[in-house]
Amino acid sequence: MVKIRLARVGSKKNPIYRVVVSDSRSPRDGRNIETIGRYNPQTDPSIVEVDLDRADHWIGNGAQPTPAVKKLLTIVRERG
């Protein structure tokens, strides 16, 4: 099964995430199929950048977004 999820790339006590498409069996920070965005929760307001065209493409092909990614996608869609 393919999932759209967050992969942590920040250092210790400095979380920065990439929004990635990966196989559900691969580890969190392991191999991914495609990187479609990024999320930095430390800035005010948080930086959320997601390629909605690619996200919709993957969801249309059966990828399941995690609850955190679903929330980020709704934020991006609301911002326009």
What are 41-56's pLDDT values in tens digits? 999 999 999 999 999 9
Range of the domain at 68: 2-79
- pLDDT above 90 covers a percentage of the chain that reads 88
Q: CATH number of the domain at 52, please.
A: 3.30.1320.10
What are 13-23's pLDDT values in tens digits? 999 999 999 99
Please determine, for residue 80, whether its predicted confidence score (pLDDT) is greater than 90: no
Tokens of 14: 């400095």
Q: Are β-strands 34-40 and 47-50 bridged in parallel, bridged antiparallel, or unpaired?
A: antiparallel
Structural domain tally of the chain? 1
Nearest to 18 by CA among 26, 32, 33, 6: 6
Split at pLDDT 50, 70, 90, the class of 28 is confident
Split at pLDDT 50, 70, 90, the class of 37 is very high
